[in-house]
């Protein structure tokens, strides 16, 4: 396998925003834009869209495909859901930085932020050298699913975060650990706010698309049941509102 063979792949060679958007992401009503995306991070977005869409499709009334279910839930038939690479992403900073305009040091924008029902911004992706590419790819995919969880919560009028209280607000009980990056694989945030806990529970519910991912303990069952018993109604709400 020489370098020439890599260059035959048009996506690899051109890494073209337009090709990806027109040939691949448009099926989901998604647009991926900005200068920081590369082949691997675009593939992580696609993996996230497939996982989320196929999980939704299990629940919707119609015999939807993964992409149809995704478009109906996120209302992307008319307006794209944009993944924007933005190193100056205002929301991609610790909450403690929000009151100031500080954008450097500990307030430097990092990772992703769901800015509304049609915009997810990313300032960076986890980049550590001590894990395999597969582990890192899973982490990136999960980061995308977590942000889609925030957008889903916006779509259902914050019913997701409003359902989280009591024991559910704890970490890391119930969240899956391991997977090469320990708690960082299935928990994208360390915050114990209802919003962040919900986005990580959305991630646990979606899992790999075919399998939900929870800790093998009492709280894993509690979190799984919490999501399993509500997602059908929430998906219907998201579609119909």
Which of 17, 108 has the CB closer to Zn ion? 108
Q: Nearest distance from residue 199's CB to Zn ion, in Å?
A: 4
Q: Nearest distance from residue 68's CB to Zn ion, in Å?
A: 26
**Interacting residue with Zn ion among 44, 144, 199, 213 (CB under 5 A):** 199
Q: Nearest distance from residue 200's CB to Zn ion, in Å?
A: 8
CA distance 180 to 8: 33
**Residue given tokens 């992409």 in the structure block:** 67
Question: What sign has the CA pseudo-torsion 48, 191, 212, 129?
Answer: positive
Using CB under 5 A, which of the segments 4-12, 129-137, 189-197, 207-215 binds Zn ion?
A: 189-197
Sheet with 81-85, side-by-side order of all strands: 30-33, 81-85, 119-122, 112-116
Which of 20, 74 has the CB closer to Zn ion? 74
Please give the residue whose beta carbon sits closest to Zn ion in the complex: 199
Using CB under 5 A, which of the segments 95-103, 118-126, 157-165, 197-205 binds Zn ion?
A: 197-205
Size of the site for Zn ion (CB under 5 A): 3
Q: Nearest distance from residue 229's CB to Zn ion, in Å?
A: 23
Which of 47, 144 has the CB closer to Zn ion? 144
Q: Nearest distance from residue 195's CB to Zn ion, in Å?
A: 7
Q: What angle do CA 156, 159, 164 make, to 5 degrees?
A: 145
Tokens encoding 75: 């209302």
CA distance 77 to 170: 37
Using CB under 5 A, which of the segments 44-52, 155-163, 182-190, 215-223 binds Zn ion?
A: 182-190
Q: Parallel, antiparallel, or unpaired for β 81-85 and 119-122?
A: parallel
Which of 68, 153 has the CB closer to Zn ion? 153
Using CB under 5 A, which of the segments 22-30, 131-139, 155-163, 191-199 binds Zn ion?
A: 191-199
- Mark residue 124 as left, alpha or beta (left: phi above 0; alpha: psi -120 to 50; beta: remaining): beta
CB 200 within 8 A of CB 189: yes
Tokens encoding 220: 């894993």
Q: Nearest distance from residue 165's CB to Zn ion, in Å?
A: 18
| Strand residues in 62-172 grouped as ranges (E) | 81-85, 112-116, 119-122
Using CB under 5 A, which of the segments 55-63, 119-127, 136-144, 195-203 binds Zn ion?
A: 195-203
**Interacting residue with Zn ion among 59, 117, 189, 208 (CB under 5 A):** 189
184: nearest Cα among 149, 139, 147, 145: 139
Footprint on this chain of Zn ion (rule: CB under 5 A): 189, 196, 199
């Amino acid at each position: 396998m020489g370098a020439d063979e890599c260059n035959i792949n048009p996506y690899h060679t051109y890494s073209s925003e337009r090709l990806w958007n027109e040939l691949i992401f448009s099926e989901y009503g998604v647009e991926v834009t900005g200068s920081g995306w590369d082949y691997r991070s675009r593939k992580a977005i696609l993996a996230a869209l497939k996982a989320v869409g196929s999980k939704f499709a299990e629940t919707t009334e119609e015999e939807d495909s993964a992409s149809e279910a995704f478009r109906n839930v996120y209302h992307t038939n008319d307006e794209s859901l944009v993944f924007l690479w933005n190193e100056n992403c205002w929301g991609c900073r610790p909450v403690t930085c929000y009151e100031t305009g500080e954008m450097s040091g500990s307030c430097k924008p990092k990772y992703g932020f769901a800015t509304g029902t049609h915009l997810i911004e990313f300032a960076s992706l986890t980049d550590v050298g001590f894990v395999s590419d597969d582990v890192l790819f899973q982490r990136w995919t999960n980061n995308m699913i977590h942000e889609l969880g925030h957008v889903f919560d916006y779509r259902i009028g914050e019913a997701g975060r409003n359902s989280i209280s009591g024991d559910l607000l704890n970490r890391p009980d119930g969240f899956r650990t391991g997977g090469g990056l320990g708690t960082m694989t299935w928990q994208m945030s360390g915050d114990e706010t209802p919003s962040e806990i919900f986005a990580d529970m959305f991630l646990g519910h979606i899992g790999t698309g075919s399998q939900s991912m929870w800790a093998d303990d009492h709280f894993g069952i509690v979190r799984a049941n919490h999501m399993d018993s509500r997602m059908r109604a929430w998906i219907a709400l998201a579609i119909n509102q």
